[in-house]
């Protein structure tokens, strides 16, 4: 498996102008982590959505504009990252898990 | 009914992997997850292809459900243990289905697929074929299913629980944030509905919270335990999770799941809708 690439997910077929996309990749020691769970928490810390990462470590959310927290769960790890989503934009986030 | 009659943990499942009276069934939103791997011996039920009528928007009927379970090799006397991704959303939905059609012994794996994975427990790719059975279902139990007229009649009188995220409830999002937002229906919630997101009933690992915490959660949100309750979400799967909590774990007697949920209600002509973070008055409006 080659190293994780950032910004790797294409947005073909999605009308990005109407969406506030948050996406990215989860890695550990530079290698992508598939099957990790990424949760999207709103400005009040409330759960909004959760997805497992793909085999290439990628994830994507269609959020609303504003401040969000990404909480990544994997065996033995939980990592929080802050992100701001904007309408018509794609916020890219790289999550590095502790080795 | 006690918690152990409806919920099993991962150790229980591991101890019963070779028990011929126990059938594991995986139900996911991402129906390809099963193909990648699953708990040994588990069969798959596809929440869309297997549980929905292929033409009109409704469930499979009693005969179709009988044919499905017979084909999957599930017998009337089997203990069915359901699990899946998304914190058991669709497994809860299937649990509600099995209850609707009168299956005697059905349970959820606490934490579902996520907890199993985070624990590092065994998953296999090998698919089992169970010999077909002749399954006999009961007529639908109407006492646990709500329709749109039940919901409009409940505004301002019964407990309505909207279990979507706060942003969906307020009308800032139209779908869970892992799905595209472009939709045809109006945003908002049923006036007077409380917002108790399904996720508040679960821990980060997907397991259900303890009964005392759950009672405090719904009581604190303003649920009147002396009244009947209707739960809804967007398409009825997250509200099946809350239906499970209220009806199966907390033994509330009259709890119904509105499976039409927001994709139906938000498309109805002439019904009241409330925007914003407060439940609002029965006539609805903008906060």
CATH number of the domain bearing residue B237: 3.40.250.10
Contact A19 B181 (CB under 8 A): yes
State the Cα–Cα distance between residues B204 and B248, nearest whole angstrom. Answer: 21
Looking at domain A18-86, which CATH architecture does it have? Sandwich (2.60)
Domain boundary among B113, B140, B167: B140
Query: Looking at the annotation, which residues of B are catalytic?
Result: 233
By Cβ distance, the residue of B85, B118, B177 closest to A73 is: B118
In terms of residue numbers, what domain contains B198? 143-265
The predicted pLDDT at position B1 comes to 66
A15 touches chain B (CB under 8 A): yes
User: Among positive and negative, which fits the CA dihedral B272, B277, B280, B286?
Assistant: negative
Residue at B278 is within a domain:
no
Give the closest residue to B187 by CA, choosing from B166, B206, B171, B202.
B171
B206 by DSSP, 3-state: which? coil
Domain boundary among B103, B124, B140: B140
**Mean pLDDT on A94-98:** 94
The predicted pLDDT at position B180 comes to 74
- As a whole-number percent, the residues of chain B with pLDDT over 70 amount to 99
Residue at B285 is within a domain:
no
Instruction: Assess whether B7 and B110 both reside in one domain.
Output: yes
| pLDDT, tens only, A59-93 | 999 999 999 999 999 988 899 999 999 999 999 99
pTM for the whole thing? 0.89
Residue at B61 is within a domain:
yes
The predicted pLDDT at position A8 comes to 56
Instruction: Assess whether B82 and B150 both reside in one domain.
Output: no
- How confident is residue B136, by pLDDT bands cut at 50, 70 and 90? very high
Instruction: Assess whether B136 and B153 both reside in one domain.
Output: no
CA atoms within 13 A on the CB side of B151: 28
Strands (E), chain A: 20-28, 31-32, 37-41, 47-52, 58-63, 66-74, 77-85, 90-97
By Cβ distance, the residue of A42, A62, A71 closest to B165 is: A42
Instruction: Assess whether B228 and B195 both reside in one domain.
Output: yes
| pLDDT, tens only, B10-47 | 999 999 999 999 999 999 988 888 999 999 999 999 99
The domain limits of chain A are 18-86
The predicted pLDDT at position A2 comes to 38
Instruction: Assess whether B12 and B136 both reside in one domain.
Output: yes
Residue in A closest to B204 by C-alpha: A73
Is residue B79 within a helix (H) or strand (E), and if so which, with residue range? strand B79-83
B143 by DSSP, 3-state: which? helix
Instruction: Assess whether B127 and B208 both reside in one domain.
Output: no
Instruction: Assess whether B260 and B168 both reside in one domain.
Output: yes
Instruction: Assess whether B62 and B93 both reside in one domain.
Output: yes
Find chain B residues with C-beta within 8 A of A73's C-beta. Answer: 114, 118, 204-205
Residue at B209 is within a domain:
yes
| pLDDT, tens only, B83-135 | 998 899 999 999 999 999 999 999 999 999 999 999 999 999 999 999 999 99
Residue at B277 is within a domain:
no
Count of structural domains within chain B: 2
A-interface mutation test, from B177, B196, B242, most A Cβ less than 10 A away: B177
Instruction: Assess whether B37 and B123 both reside in one domain.
Output: yes
- How confident is residue A7, by pLDDT bands cut at 50, 70 and 90? very low
ipTM, 2 dp: 0.72
The mean pLDDT of chain B is: 94
Instruction: Assess whether B80 and B150 both reside in one domain.
Output: no
A79 touches chain B (CB under 8 A): no
Residue in B closest to A35 by C-alpha: B117
Instruction: Assess whether B89 and B153 both reside in one domain.
Output: no
Residue at B276 is within a domain:
no
CB-count burial class (<10 Å; 0-12, 13-18, 19+) for B250:
middle
**Mean pLDDT on B242-270:** 96
Instruction: Assess whether B23 and B120 both reside in one domain.
Output: yes
Residue at B282 is within a domain:
no
């Amino acid at each position: 498996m080659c190293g994780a690439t950032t910004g790797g997910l294409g947005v073909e077929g999605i009308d990005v102008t109407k969406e506030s996309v948050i996406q990215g990749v989860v890695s550990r020691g530079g290698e992508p982590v598939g099957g990790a769970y990424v949760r999207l928490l709103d400005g009040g810390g409330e759960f909004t959505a959760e997805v497992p990462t793909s085999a290439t470590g990628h994830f994507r959310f269609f959020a609303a504009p504003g401040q969000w927290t990404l909480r990544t769960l994997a065996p033995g790890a939980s990592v929080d990252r802050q992100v701001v989503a904007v309408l018509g934009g794609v916020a890219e986030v790289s999550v590095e898990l502790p080795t | 009914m006690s918690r152990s009659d409806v919920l099993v943990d991962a150790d229980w499942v591991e101890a019963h992997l070779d028990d011929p009276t126990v059938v594991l069934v995986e139900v996911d939103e991402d129906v390809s997850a099963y193909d990648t791997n699953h708990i040994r011996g588990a069969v798959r039920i596809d929440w869309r292809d297997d549980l929905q009528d292929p033409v009109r928007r409704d469930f499979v009927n009693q005969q179709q459900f009988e044919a499905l379970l017979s084909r999957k090799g599930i017998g009337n006397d089997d203990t069915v243990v359901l699990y899946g991704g998304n914190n058991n959303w669709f497994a809860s939905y299937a649990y509600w289905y099995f209850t609707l059609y009168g299956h005697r012994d059905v349970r959820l794996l606490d934490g579902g697929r996520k907890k199993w994975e985070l624990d590092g427990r065994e998953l296999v790719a090998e698919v089992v074929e169970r010999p077909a059975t002749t399954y006999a279902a009961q007529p639908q139990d109407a006492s646990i299913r709500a329709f749109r007229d039940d919901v409009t009649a409940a505004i301002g009188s019964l407990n309505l629980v909207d279990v979507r995220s706060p942003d969906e409830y307020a009308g800032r999002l139209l779908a869970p944030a892992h799905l595209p937002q472009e939709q045809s229906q109006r945003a908002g919630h049923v006036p007077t509905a409380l917002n108790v997101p399904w996720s508040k009933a679960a821990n980060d690992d997907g397991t259900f919270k303890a009964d005392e915490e759950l009672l405090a959660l719904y009581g604190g949100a303003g649920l009147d335990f002396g009244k009947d309750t209707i739960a809804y979400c967007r398409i009825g799967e997250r509200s099946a999770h809350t239906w499970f909590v209220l009806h199966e774990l907390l033994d509330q007697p009259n709890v119904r799941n509105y499976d039409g949920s927001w994709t139906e209600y938000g498309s109805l002509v002439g019904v009241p809708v409330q925007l914003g973070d407060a439940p609002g008055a029965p006539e609805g409006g903008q906060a």
